[in-house]
């Protein structure tokens, strides 16, 4: 399993744990939030590296701009995929923060 797949597995595990119908204590929710934040950081690093590769392919492509974009998207699919995954993970991250805030008020 490469780094990208490992990060995706980590994100999936945290989101599945959060999405399950089991009650998460304050401590477990806080730990899950930390794991999610850590995975999002590592995925952001991959996204940034993929962006550099994507832009390089597009810039150095000899031909139509639109064809260069298609070529870059084909050669570096991680660029768009990581952006979508990060957007979704960010929504889960926000939901977890809100739930932690509610739990704190109830204590």
Predicted pLDDT of residue 74: 96
76 — pLDDT class (breaks 50, 70, 90): very high
pLDDT value of position 93 = 96
Own/partner long-range contacts of 45-54 (Cβ < 8 Å, ≥24 apart) = 46/3, 46/4, 46/7, 46/78, 46/82, 47/78, 47/79, 47/82, 47/83, 47/86, 50/76, 50/78, 50/79, 50/82, 51/79, 53/79, 54/79
Which residue has better confidence, 22 or 66? 66
Q: What is the pLDDT of residue 106?
A: 79
The region of weakest confidence among 15-19, 71-75, 103-107 is: 103-107
pTM comes to 0.86
Q: What percent of the chain has pLDDT over 70?
A: 99
At residue 14 the predicted structure's pLDDT band, cuts being 50, 70 and 90, is very high
Judged against a pLDDT cut of 80, whether residue 1 lies above it is answered with: no
Give how far the C-alpha of residue 32 lies from the chain's centroid of Cα atoms, to the nearest Å: 14
Question: Given a cut of 80, is residue 21 above it in pLDDT?
Answer: no
């Amino acid at each position: 399993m490469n780094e990208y797949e490992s990060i995706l597995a980590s994100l999936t595990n945290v989101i599945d744990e959060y999405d399950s119908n089991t009650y998460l204590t304050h401590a477990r929710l806080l730990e899950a939030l930390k794991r999610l934040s850590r995975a999002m950081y590592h995925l952001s690093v991959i996204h940034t590296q993929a962006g550099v590769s994507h832009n390089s392919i597009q810039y150095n492509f000899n031909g139509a701009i639109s064809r260069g974009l298609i070529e870059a998207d084909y050669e570096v699919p991680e660029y768009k995929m990581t952006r979508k995954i990060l957007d979704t993970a960010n929504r889960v991250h926000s939901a977890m923060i809100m739930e932690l805030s509610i739990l704190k008020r109830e204590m």
